[in-house]
Amino acid sequence: MSENVVAQLDPIFKPKSVALIGASNNPAKWGGMVLGRALSCTFRGSIYPVNPRETEISGLRAYRDVLEIPDPVDLAVFTIRAAEIPAAMKRCVEKGVKGGLIISADFAETGERGRALEEETVRIAREGGLRFIGPNGNGMWTSAVGLNISPLPTPAPGRLAMISQSGMFGGAAIHATMAKGFGLSKFVAMGNQADLTAADYLEYLRSDDDTRVIALYLEGLKDGRRFLEVAREVSREKPIVVLKGGKSELGARATLSHTASIAGEDRIFDAVCRQAGLIRVSQLEHLFLMAEALLSQPLLRGDRIAVVGNGGQGVATVDNLAALGFEVPEFSEEDQLELKKILPPHAPIPRNPVDFAAGAMDTEDEVRVIEKLASLDYIDGIITNVPREASYKTSSLAERKKAAITALDRFVGIPEKYGKPIITQKLMPSETSVEFLRSAGVPMCDTPQQCAVAMSALTRYARIKSRP
């Protein structure tokens, strides 16, 4: 597939026209839900509803059959019953359609009858040169043409691609990215991987300019050897963060009925991740924490972290960093004295972590501390609070706000200026500070543990990039 991967998958991810086979005027049906979502997003191509019992659907002319559509069709979306899919696939092949998305379920995940239907569908599609997603997924999103074919909310365009064997996790990805302020370049619910597999998507995303980081949720692999080979090559260019279901014996049994996947031995998959350069996580939350850091921050050059945090917060952050193998080096005496000059008078000597001791700090002074830490040659990264919007050097509200914005602007430029990442924790931040950092792409976490996990992505991928 390598030579033609872009040509084969572009009709899916960059279609100019879409036929929705099974479109419906009933918004409670899949054919109604996905059509409604496709019509409400920014897609500017042609959409052709196909339903033999309707003449008009959602204000569009409906066609009895895909062969009646007068214009070329790039992508066919199937929401009809599984038993009807092989015949519909034949007509799409005859029409010259090159891309497909089968949302319909009741295939291999339900037993031998469904497996036979799935195999017949694959045979027809491959003989006709049509590649398809699914079956048994809940759709896809592609920012390349602004097309959402799913019942899920339409995400903002972004640089993260989410490829998932679970449609539910796709929804989680969309909501997580919305909450964190970054978007998705692609979302694909792979379903049973009857035709296109995880390796195919990785190969396509390798050359996708819209994608910078790839997140995977897997339950089982089809053609594990090819997956290993492709993932090894792609991970040299783009980070791949993976969460695998079916780790336990009970979970593995559940994957069989969910997406007809054989989970395999977890220790073998762990070895695959190490060999292929995949960043494996054990929790869905960590998938997005790491993706956010990898999207926006420079990689770590080493494992030495400076911590800024009040009291127990700093202690908890250091403990979490230590658990992940980081160093938190003590500052030199000279640097301690320089930092102490900026801190409130009652703050303790800053040895690492730096403790503001709940002192009243101007935004400008907070940023001075962070910039000083970034300048130290024995510090590779920084974890700190979201700087507060505060100024005690003037009584003018307008002047205070202006000074805070100027300092925040300097703060968000520190990672690029010094080539060192900053991960922040939201501890009673102002709304202005949060919006400022979100628009600049600076990661904001809720807990010390999350900060440490996000930072760990930057050292893990740095090691992957530097491997022989």
The C-alpha atoms of residue 107 and residue 114 are separated, in whole angstroms, by: 4
- Residue-wise DSSP of 175-217: HHHHHHT--EEEEEE-TT-SSS-HHHHHHHHHT-TT-SEEEEE
Among 99, 89, 171, residue whose Cα is nearest residue 122 = 89
- Amino acid, res. 269: F
Q: Would you say 343 and 359 are in contact if contact means Cβ atoms under 8 Å apart? A: yes
Among 182, 214, 192, residue whose Cα is nearest residue 201 = 214
The domains found in the chain, sorted by start residue, are 2-294 (3.40.50.261), 297-465 (3.40.50.261)
Which letter does DSSP use for residue 2 in this model? G
Give the per-residue pLDDT at 394: 61
- Tokens for 332, please give them: 């030199």
Prior bond to 135 cis, omega within 30? Answer: yes
The C-alpha atoms of residue 310 and residue 316 are separated, in whole angstroms, by: 10
The C-alpha atoms of residue 162 and residue 80 are separated, in whole angstroms, by: 25
Question: Collapsing DSSP states into helix, strand and coil, what is residue 365?
Answer: helix
- Residue where the block lists tokens 């017949």: 120
- Tokens for 400, please give them: 């205070």
Predicted TM-score (pTM) of the model is: 0.91
Give the per-residue pLDDT at 293: 97
Give the per-residue pLDDT at 246: 57
Burial class of residue 62 in the structure, from the number of CB atoms within 10 Å of its CB (0-12 exposed, 13-18 middle, 19+ buried): buried
Q: Would you say 307 and 317 are in contact if contact means Cβ atoms under 8 Å apart? A: yes
Q: What is the pLDDT of residues 215-232, one digit of tens each?
A: 999 988 888 899 999 999
Which of 380-389 are b and which e, b meaning 16 or more Cβ less than 10 Å from the residue's Cβ?
bbbbbbbbbb
| Sign for the pseudo-dihedral over CA of 408, 412, 418, 421 | positive
Distance of CA 117 to the CA centre of its chain: 32
Q: Would you say 284 and 169 are in contact if contact means Cβ atoms under 8 Å apart? A: yes
Give the per-residue pLDDT at 130: 97
pLDDT tens per residue across all 468 residues of the chain: 455 899 999 999 999 999 999 999 999 999 999 999 999 999 999 999 999 999 999 999 999 999 999 999 999 999 999 999 999 999 999 999 999 999 999 999 999 999 999 999 999 999 999 999 999 999 999 999 999 999 999 999 999 999 999 888 888 888 888 888 889 999 999 999 999 999 999 999 999 999 999 999 998 888 889 999 999 999 999 999 999 985 545 444 444 444 444 445 788 888 889 999 999 999 999 999 999 999 999 999 999 999 998 888 999 999 999 999 999 999 999 999 999 999 988 899 999 999 988 766 788 999 999 999 999 999 999 999 998 876 666 667 777 778 888 999 999 999 999 999 999 999 877 888 888 899 898 999 999 999 999 999 999 999 999 987
